[in-house]
Amino acid sequence: MMTSSKRKKVLFVITKSNFGGAQRYVYDLASSLSKDRFEAVVAFGGTGTPGSSAGKLEAMLKKAGIRTIFIQNFARDIFIFKEFLALFELMSLFRKEKPDIIHLNSSKAGGLGALAGRLTLIPNIVYTSHGWAYNEPVSGVTKLFRWTAALATVFLCHKIISVSHFDMTHAPLGIKATAIHNGVAEFNFLPQGEARKELSERASVPDEAFIIGTIAELHPSKGLATLITSAVTLEGTQIIIMGEGQLRASLEALIRKHGLESRVHLLGFIDNAPTLLKAFDVFVLPSQKEGLGYVLLEAGSAGLPVIATTVGGIPEIIDDGISGTLITPNDPTGLAKAIQELIENPNTRRSYGETLQSKVARDFSLAEMVEKTVHIYTA
């Protein structure tokens, strides 16, 4: 496809094509860039495991009229031979596409993409950190490896974006990054009654139950074991977890261990999960590591009271005691106490929800995110 000389081609690259926060970011940017000024193309791997096919991101991008390219050798885990194949695949892709800008997302796509970009003389290499991977709760050896890889990535790129001020100030060696918060457009949520009715078709939830909910990948960094364990002392409540991932079996075992099968529900991936947010009475995000969670912006847009941990960029969204409650990660007792306080104080729930809703509308717009990112492209 020939592009107008007035347009710049932006090639987005991301490791996985499931639909988490980083994929949402790529989709929002690619589908929102001015078509008069930019041609957006997105390259990605499968859903994480070797040989997996493309996920939801591909279908959404195609529906939006955005060209996609599949990277055969991208997988979540490190396989040395596969990494070399992925590097050569990216170099071939960059030579063929000749993008003006490559915009890299996720750790693996960042490192391999930046090296491939330098080797093929791409003039403008941009990397977005959605939370530095070395901040995850991992061993010292893994942390050092991830820090070194992140350092190499930022040295190879021309410009670094972080989705939070926290990640901007915690970049390796303090290397300069530009903080651009994630943003969301206006969203159509189902009314509470309709959302609860749809949930009741997926889980056995009593009509008048107090529902504590979250939307999260079943991944160690999301701290979902903390949420499940907190439910032991929260009698009469229902816990809804929407999302899929590698920890399903272990989380199911934890639910059985505590005898919570009737009160904790793993609903798996739900295509329209954010539309159901108003079914919840309280939204909880117990992450151990987070960049700037889209789900918090969506929960805020829905007017929900939020409890979240003090990690990453979360405190840039939630003002403790004003627009939500902040807790330390990995503390089931503290989380249970925070939930119980909101159960007992409906006025506080209402105040938190209204305050956060106003803040998200004011400070986290998609239009502003796109505008600031375009400035990075063209500066």
**Average pLDDT of every residue of the chain:** 93
Q: Residue 218 in 3-state DSSP?
A: coil
* 275 in a structural domain: yes
CA 125 to chain centroid: 22
Please say if the pLDDT value at position 102 is more than 50: yes
* 101 in a structural domain: yes
Please say if the pLDDT value at position 1 is more than 70: no
Rg (CA), the chain: 21
Ramachandran angles phi, psi of 196, nearest 5°: -70, -35
Closest CA to 26 of 74, 76, 60: 60
In the chain, which ranges are E strands?
A: 8-14, 38-44, 67-70, 101-105, 125-129, 159-162, 178-179, 210-215, 237-242, 264-268, 282-285, 306-309, 325-327
Mark whether 214 and 152 lie in a shared domain. no
Mark whether 160 and 227 lie in a shared domain. no
Residues with Cβ < 8 Å from 108, sequence gap 6 or more? Answer: 15, 74, 76, 78, 83, 86
Query: Would you state the structure tokens that stand for residue 368, as one six-digit string?
Result: 């502003």
Mark whether 258 and 302 lie in a shared domain. yes
Mark whether 308 and 369 lie in a shared domain. no
Average of per-residue pLDDT across 341-354: 98
* 371 in a structural domain: yes
Please say if the pLDDT value at position 161 is more than 50: yes
CA angle at 174 for the pair 169 and 175, rounded to the nearest 5°: 110
* 149 in a structural domain: yes
Query: Would you state the structure tokens that stand for residue 287, as one six-digit string?
Result: 């992450």
User: Is there a contact between 112 and 44 (Cβ–Cβ < 8 Å)?
Assistant: no
Closest CA to 203 of 133, 126, 248, 264: 264
| Whole-number pLDDT of residue 5 | 57
Domain that holds residue 15: 8-183+365-378
User: Is there a contact between 285 and 243 (Cβ–Cβ < 8 Å)?
Assistant: no
| Whole-number pLDDT of residue 138 | 80
Confidence category of residue 123, pLDDT binned at 50, 70, 90: very high
CATH code, domain with 289: 3.40.50.2000
- Going edge to edge, which strands form the sheet with 178-179? 67-70, 38-44, 8-14, 101-105, 125-129, 159-162, 178-179
Query: Exposed, middle or buried, 316 (CB in 10 Å: 0-12/13-18/19+)?
Result: middle
Query: Exposed, middle or buried, 108 (CB in 10 Å: 0-12/13-18/19+)?
Result: buried
Mark whether 59 and 178 lie in a shared domain. yes
Confidence category of residue 21, pLDDT binned at 50, 70, 90: confident
Mark whether 129 and 201 lie in a shared domain. no
Closest CA to 168 of 316, 285, 295, 309: 316
Q: Which tens digits make up the pLDDT trace of 250-260?
A: 999 999 999 99
Please say if the pLDDT value at position 3 is more than 70: no
How does strand 67-70 pair with strand 101-105? unpaired
* 238 in a structural domain: yes
Mark whether 282 and 222 lie in a shared domain. yes
Average of per-residue pLDDT across 146-153: 91
Please say if the pLDDT value at position 149 is more than 80: yes
Mark whether 52 and 129 lie in a shared domain. yes
Confidence category of residue 136, pLDDT binned at 50, 70, 90: confident
More confident residue, 171 or 76: 171
Q: Residue 112 in 3-state DSSP?
A: helix
| Whole-number pLDDT of residue 170 | 87
Q: How far apart are CA 97 and CA 10, in angstroms?
A: 10
Mark whether 35 and 172 lie in a shared domain. yes
Query: Exposed, middle or buried, 171 (CB in 10 Å: 0-12/13-18/19+)?
Result: middle
**For the chain, what is the domain count?**
2
* 239 in a structural domain: yes
- Single pTM value for the model: 0.89
Q: Residue 255 in 3-state DSSP?
A: helix
| Whole-number pLDDT of residue 228 | 98
Q: How far apart are CA 35 and CA 1, in angstroms?
A: 14
Write the single-letter amino acid at 289: K
Query: Would you state the structure tokens that stand for residue 298, as one six-digit string?
Result: 């969506």
Mark whether 134 and 248 lie in a shared domain. no
Mark whether 373 and 357 lie in a shared domain. no
CA angle at 31 for the pair 37 and 74, rounded to the nearest 5°: 110
* 1 in a structural domain: no
Mark whether 105 and 171 lie in a shared domain. yes
Average of per-residue pLDDT across 227-247: 95
| Whole-number pLDDT of residue 51 | 72
Please say if the pLDDT value at position 2 is more than 50: no
* 3 in a structural domain: no
Q: How far apart are CA 104 and CA 82, in angstroms?
A: 19
